[in-house]
Amino acid sequence: MKQEALSTFDMPWLPITGLIIFVVCFSAYTYWTYKKDNKGMYDQASMIPLEDGVTEMRRGH
C-alpha cells in the first residue's frame, strides 16, 4: 500500500526540500544555542529560579 502511494507521488523534490530545511534549521538552532556569546544570557537565565525567592524576601522585609 505504501509502495503504491509512493510510486504515484509525482513530486519527489518535496520531501528532499523538507529534509534540507529541517537540517539547516536544526543546525542553526544548535549553533546558536552553543555559541559562546550566549553564555551570559544562559547564566542569567539559570539564576532566575534562585533570585526569585530572594527578591520576594527582600520586598517583604
Given this model, what pLDDT does residue 54 score?
59
The contacts found for 8-11 with CB under 8 angstroms, 24 or more apart, are: none
Confidence of residue 11 (pLDDT cuts 50, 70, 90): confident
Given this model, what pLDDT does residue 52 score?
62
- pLDDT, one tens digit per residue, over 13-27 is 898 999 999 999 999
CA 50 distance to own-chain centroid: 24
Checking if the pLDDT of 6 tops 70, the result is yes
